[in-house]
Amino acid sequence: MAGPARLTREDVAHVADLARLHLSEGELDLFTGQLASVLDHAADVASLDLAGVEPTAHAMAVTNVLRLDEPAPCLDRGEVLGQAPSVEDHRFRVPRILGEAP
Amino acid sequence: MSAPRPALETATMVRAGEESAVDVLEHHLAVIDAGEESIHAFNLVLADSARERARAVDARVAAGEDPGPLAGVPVALKDNLCTRGVPTTCSSRILDGWRPPYDATVVTRLAEAGAVVIGKTNMDEFAMGSSTETSAFGATRNPHDTSRVPGGSSGGSAAAVAAGFAPLALGSDTGGSIRQPAALCGVVGMKPTYGTVSRYGLVAFASSLDQIGPFAHTVADAALLFDVIGGHDPLDSTSLHRPTPRVLSVLDDGVDGMTVGVLTEFLDGAAPDVAARVHQAAESLAAAGARIEEVSVPEVTLGLSAYYLIAPGEASSNLARYDGVRYGLRVDAPDTVAMNTATRSEGFGAEVKRRIMLGTYVLSAGYMDAYYNQALKVRTRIIEGFAAAYTRCDVLLGPTAPTTAFAIGAKVDDPLTMYLSDVCTIPSNLAGHPAISVPFGPGDDGLPVGVQLLGPALSEGTLFQVAAVVEAAAPDQPAPRLAAGAAS
């Protein structure tokens, strides 16, 4: 199986955008080379024929865990909101979204 | 200098009223005072709250109560373990100043056992690194040679124990972040079976790989700490419902009749002096009655590549929560997406950005099958490879790290070279298996070498049993010069 195409500067700019990271031109150059070398190293994995092998997402079997729906103490609202950069009326406050007028 | 007094002995004396928890604490605070400036093991020393806690332990002893198995023992916590009302930074600017609204389960269990939390230790940012150099607050230095790294990512915890700042510490191990710094700093470090120690309150890096585990000077002290922190926790949905092995009680059981496999793939990449120590450890196990075999698990050679696809994938998802909305840093901008981007760009360091981007890339449409899904299949292969080895062997033996501690700055600009220092530790994380690093004398450069014992899931009892035999046979390692004369 042929490995995927080599990582480009445009790919890095695209994933940085998806990950909400702004990179300078210098960082783009640096990270493109560094990430490409990591992915080149991963070619040993990417090029293996593993058809028919089951993937393992979790080494120990994981099952859904439910508890009884009984009220219990939870985190203190004031303590939680006290950690937020901006709060209004007991809610997290953020700048405008979707470009609407403030 | 004399060896630092074991935590087991300290707890016994405090419980018996023969020494006060306050005196134990003041001794360690004095050692920190004398050595911390040259080591930088801590992000925060909690002298005031520790004094309060030590006094409470002493009051319980005076009242005829038993404060617990860690009575009056100072413990250092890696700074990705949540402590209510106490800054928890993950050595990242993005969490600078954050005070969690709850304690991690391990922190609660330490308190219930009578331990005294003495500080929060430095680490690679979000546990991403193998040298503690990616910390936003500056590198930690190896107490055995301050021009060298302590390893990472739990380098602060390893250095704190090695320097005598605390007899015990907790770290987290996603790809070797307890065992590798333990080896480089000449202390014992152990990664438990996935699910035996609650991850509640451990800031997530790669959730299917992360485990909390102990650092100590001795195998017995690591066993003591593991017994305190292990066990089911309803607050962690991946916490195992099976009984956690108790390890302190089996330490003297020996290795007679056991089969120990020397893992050839791990020796292939090791420096000659490190490989020689592994062979010497194998000889000492043979002398104690174990049968030694050479064992090959070829699948482990794929571990590094698989790990650097899986762990960044999980990290890219876990670290999406740092968006400037609910906690930590916010960099203001006119709209929310710009605020998220400005916050993350300023708050994360280069290594964290690299891993987030790598993870985002390998999970993105068109590449997920070639990279991430392929790595998950390799994970299956590694588990099968280990399973075959464990039909013949009780435990496997190899180096913990390929070399002794490297120089500060030597690898930090070349991520792939840095990643290679985890080549012997990563397979256990991918398999969910326990492993322990035990100091085994100096290498040719005089710096500590760690040998690693690996076992199948829930084999902690056997691992500690074998580790105790290895420890008893280990050549002497000169104590760090910094701590010389400081220990009582």
Q: What is the DSSP string of B270-297?
A: S-HHHHHHHHHHHHHHHHTT-EEEEE--
The residue whose two tokens read 């990449």 is: B269
| Nearest-Cα residue of chain A relative to residue B208 | A58
Mean pLDDT, range B394-404, rounded to an integer: 98
Cβ of A78: how many Cβ atoms within 10 Å? Answer: 10
Beta-strand ranges (E) seen in chain A are 87-88, 91-92
Report how far apart, in Å, the C-alpha atoms of B276 and of each of B263, B294, B477 are: 13, 15, 15
pLDDT at B324 over 70: yes
Cα separation values, B346 from A21, B128, B182, B341, Å: 9, 17, 32, 8
CA distance to partner chain A, nearest, from residue B201 (Å):
13
* For chain A, domain boundaries: 7-50
Distance CA B414, CA B125 (A): 16
Helix axis angle for B350-362 and A9-18, nearest 10°, is 100
Cis preceding linkage at B153, omega within 30: yes
Subunit contact A95:B339, Cβ cutoff 8 A: yes
Please write the tens of the pLDDT for every residue from A53-68.
999 999 988 788 888 9
Residue B484 has pLDDT above 50, yes or no: no
Compute the mean pLDDT over every residue in chain B, rounded to the nearest whole number. Answer: 96
Spot the catalytic one: B91, B92, B130, B153: B153
pLDDT of residue A99: 66
Mean pLDDT computed over B166-180: 98
Residue position matching structure tokens 């219930």: B112
Q: Is the distance from CB of B99 to CB of B142 less than 8 angstroms?
A: no
Q: CB–CB of A50/A35 below 8 Å?
A: no
Instruction: Search chain A and give the residue with CA nearest B311.
Output: A57
pLDDT at B241 (0 to 100): 87
Q: Is B153 a catalytic residue?
A: yes
ipTM: 0.94
Tell me which of 3.90.1300.10, 3.40.50.1820, 3.20.20.140, 1.10.3720.10 is the CATH number of domain B7-298+383-483. 3.90.1300.10
Q: Tens digits of per-residue pLDDT, B47-69? A: 999 999 999 999 999 999 999 99
CB pairs under 8 A between A and B: 176
Chain segment B207-262, per-residue pLDDT in tens: 999 999 999 999 999 999 999 999 999 999 999 988 888 899 999 999 999 999 99
Counting residues of chain A whose pLDDT is more than 70, the rounded percentage is 93
- pLDDT tens for each residue of B76-103: 999 999 999 999 999 999 998 899 999 9
- How far away is chain B from the Cα of A55, in angstroms, using its nearest Cα? 4
- Give the closest-approach CA distance of A71 to chain B in angstroms: 15
CATH 3.90.1300.10 domain locations along chain B: 7-298+383-483
Q: Spell out which residues of chain A touch residue B431, defining contact as CB-CB under 8 Å.
A: 59
Residue of B nearest to A58 (CA): B208
In B, minimum Cα distance to A14 occurs at B361
In tens, the pLDDT along A6-47 reads 899 999 999 999 999 999 999 999 999 999 999 999 998 999
Could you name the CATH architecture of A7-50? Orthogonal Bundle (1.10)
Task: Please state, in angstroms and rounded to a whole number, the distance separating the CA atoms of residues B43 and A45.
Answer: 38
Q: Which of B78, B120, B191, B411 is catalytic?
A: B78
**Predicted pLDDT at A102:** 52
Of the candidates B336, B344, B415, the beta carbon closest to that of A21 is on: B344
From the candidates B130, B157, B177, B284, give the one annotated as an active-site residue: B177
pLDDT band at A5 (very low <50, low <70, confident <90, very high): confident
Percentage of chain B modeled with pLDDT above 90? 94
Within 8 A of A67 by CB-CB distance, chain B residues are 234
Are the C-beta atoms of B404 and B426 separated by less than 8 Å? no
Q: Active-site residue B120, yes or no?
A: no
Cβ neighbour number for residue B421 with a 10 Å cutoff: 26
Amino acid B485: pLDDT: 42
DSSP B403-472: SSPPBTTSSTT-HHHHHGGGTTTHHHHHHT--EEEEEEEE-TTS-EEEEEEE-STT-HHHHHHHHHHHHH
B78 catalytically annotated: yes
A43 vs B185, residue with greater confidence: B185
Could you give the CA distance from residue B485 to residue B488 in angstroms, rounded to a whole number? 8
pLDDT exceeds cutoff 80 at B269: yes
- Which residue, chain included where needed, has tokens 């070619």? A43
Model confidence pLDDT, tens digit, residues B113-162: 999 999 999 999 999 999 999 999 999 999 999 999 999 999 999 999 99
B364 neighbourhood in chain A, CB within 8 Å: 15, 18
Q: CA nearest A93: which of B343, A101, A85?
A: A85
Strand B259-263 and strand B291-295: the pairing is: parallel
A8, A35, A45, A54: best mutation site toward chain B, by most B Cβ within 10 Å? A45
Mutate to test the interface with A, among B174, B191, B361 (most CBs of A within 10 A): B361
Residue A2 Cα, gap to closest chain B Cα (Å): 9
B219-229 vs B105-112: helix crossing angle, rounded to 10:
110
Contacts of B200 in chain A (CB under 8 A): none
